[in-house]
Amino acid sequence: MSAEAISRHEFEEARVSPHLPSLAERAKGDALMLPPRPIPAKSKLVAEKITIRHAAKHVGCSEHYLGRVLNGWQPPSARVRSALAELLRQPESDLFDMEIAG
């Protein structure tokens, strides 16, 4: 094997997406990428047996966007906050963590 050849481990590390921790970082535990915390609106939708598809149609956004919002990966817009509050008949403050909601 030549000096220019890389190991399988190095190859795997190189192809990991840049926003994710490398294999070495994950092994050390230094760069844990924990998922965000779902917002309270998600549990209210589940309790009311309202699907993301139905909620997205009511709100007027894509299911993908609403899923990201409900799972805490993206902050909701003011329009989404108010439409979900209307759908669930709850105040926005009960459905969203207002300091990160934008």
pLDDT digits (tens, 9 = 90+) for 31-79: 455 667 788 999 999 999 999 999 999 999 999 999 999 988 889 999 9
Model confidence at 30: pLDDT above 70: no
DSSP 11-79: HHHHTS-TTSPPHHHHHHTTT--PPPPPPHHHHHHHHTT--HHHHHHHHTS-HHHHHHHHTTSSPPPHH
Same domain, residue pair 47 and 90: yes
Q: Structural domain of residue 22, as residue ranges?
A: 1-34
Same domain, 30 and 74: no
The tally of domains found in the chain comes to 2
pLDDT, tens digit, 9 for 90 and up, residues 88-99: 999 999 998 765
